[in-house]
Amino acid sequence: MIAFEDTLAEWIDIRAIRGPESPEGFTEIVSQKSLAGDLHRYIVRRWWHPAEIEEGLYDEGYWSITEVSGLFSTLDDCEREADAVIPWLRQRKTNT
């Protein structure tokens, strides 16, 4: 059996593209690279504005990650994949 060592636990944000906003918050696509610099991925994260919820009050808002891509050897491949699979990002690129 081969042991898997989690060396990918930390990532560095490279670029963030802000997406649609709603009364509850907004979405962002963030391109990231591994600390070693040899792998890339993107995450989709959502910012939730402060709101009352069943468990209490989030007075400062918070981030939640809603999607994590696979791993890519180049930033270009990573961002090309994000463009292909995230509808609002693709639409934004065709409108510019």
- pLDDT score, position 24: 82
How far is 50 from 52, CA to CA, in rounded Å?
7
In a domain, 3, yes or no: no
Residue 74 within a domain: yes
Kindly state whether residue 2 falls inside one of the protein's structural domains: no
Domain count, the chain: 1
Q: Please check whether residue 73 lies inside any domain of the structure.
A: yes
Segment-wise mean pLDDT, segments of 10 residues, the chain, 96 residues: 49 93 89 92 90 64 90 96 92 73
Indicate the pTM of the whole model. 0.76
Residue 29: domain span:
11-95
DSSP 5-73: P---S-EEEEEEEEEEEETTEEEEEEEEEETTSS-EEEEEEEEEPSEEETTEEESS-EEEEEEE---BS
